[in-house]
Amino acid sequence: MQKLLLVSMALLGLGAGIAAQRERTASIPSGNTPLVSNADALAPVPRLPDGRVDLTGPWVGGGSNADIEREGGLKPGELPLLPWAKQLRDNRKEQNEPYTICLPMSVPRINPFPWKFAMSYTSKGLTHIYVLHELGDSGAHRVVYMDGRTHPVDPLPTWWGHSIGRFEGDTLVIDTVGYNDKFWFDSRGTPHTEQLHTIERWTRINFGTLVNEFTLDDPGTFSRPVQLKFTATHIRPDLDLMEFICAEDNQYGIAGGFQPAQPDK
């Protein structure tokens, strides 16, 4: 009985929370993030002392948000959804999206929040790349193993899956498996299964532009693998990600058009 009471309290509360969060997501003033100037955007790609492309960012964009089909460059109806998946997508309500209750957005949904690649250089070289999101607890950090390891045979399904990366010339290639089936690709509700396998190919084509050639493969959801393309834009270079705690709904962050306080000149 006590358990039942707890569960029903939790459900009631979550329902009410979702209503409030729906209001919040609808009101996120996205698109206000200050971007690099047009002139600077065309500057050459900066490189590290070892010659490698600097992919750090911060970036905004480069993934899905409202509709992965449209934003990934496909025409309406071109996404080869299996019948069950199409039905599920069409029945989902935007306000039920997991990220609106502060659960992770996962791949390739990063918008409208800014993010960056944090390169972990250690005495063993570049061993990990972390993707840091401004959307604190809901985005937080994603790890990409760069030390040459392979995927585990039987990974426990997680929100972020198991990501391994490598450079092919100037392109960072990230291969991920081991996802859970809980997150949505977009607020439209495009679903996937635990069979999801993604390959991201990130290429910085000039100072201000980072292209994500994205392979989406999930035989549980799509009748064939699909190739999508997203583009991220560099944020004004003097800005840093700000603290945004989703569980507090505090709405700070450069995503909301705020700017970090500046040091004394």
Partner 1 sequence: MRKLVTVVGIVAIVVPLLAQAQAPVDTGVLGRVDALGQEVKRLPAPTGPPPRLADGTIDLGDGIWVSRPFGADIGMGLKSGDVLPLLPSAKALMGSRKPADDPMVWCLPLGVLRYSPYPFRFIQNYTHRKPTHMYILSELMRTYRQVFMDGRRHPPELDPTWFGHSIGWYENDTLVIDTVGFNDKGWFDRKGTPQTERLHTIERWRRVDVGHLVQEVTIDDPGAFSRPFTVTFQAELSNPGDELIEYVCNENNQYGIASGVTPAQPAK
Interaction site with partner 1 (CB under 8 A): 6, 9-14, 16-21, 23, 46-48, 54, 56, 101-104, 118-124, 127-128, 130, 132, 136-137, 140-141, 143, 145, 149-156, 158-160, 162, 240-241, 243, 245, 247-249, 252, 260-264
Closest distance to partner 1 from the beta carbon of 59 (Å): 13
Q: Which amino acid is at 260?
A: P
SS3 81: strand
Closest distance to partner 1 from the beta carbon of 238 (Å): 10
SS3 101: helix
Which is closer to partner 1, CB of 90 or CB of 248? 248
Closest distance to partner 1 from the beta carbon of 217 (Å): 20
Other residues' Cβ atoms within 10 Å of the Cβ of residue 8: 10
Which is closer to partner 1, CB of 84 or CB of 121? 121
Which is closer to partner 1, CB of 95 or CB of 227? 95
Residue in 70, 82, 83 with CA at minimum distance from that of residue 228: 70
Give the separation between CA 85 and CA 233, rounded to whole angstroms: 31
Closest distance to partner 1 from the beta carbon of 263 (Å): 4
Residues ≥6 apart with Cβ < 8 Å to 127: 120, 145, 146, 147
For residue 121, what are the CA distances in angstroms to 2, 76, 175?
A: 51, 43, 20
Which is closer to partner 1, CB of 71 or CB of 163? 163
Which is closer to partner 1, CB of 35 or CB of 103? 103
Task: Please give the sequence-ordered ranges of beta strands (E in DSSP) within 57-114, or none if there are none.
Answer: 59-61
H or E segment and range at residue 172? strand 171-177
Closest distance to partner 1 from the beta carbon of 1 (Å): 13
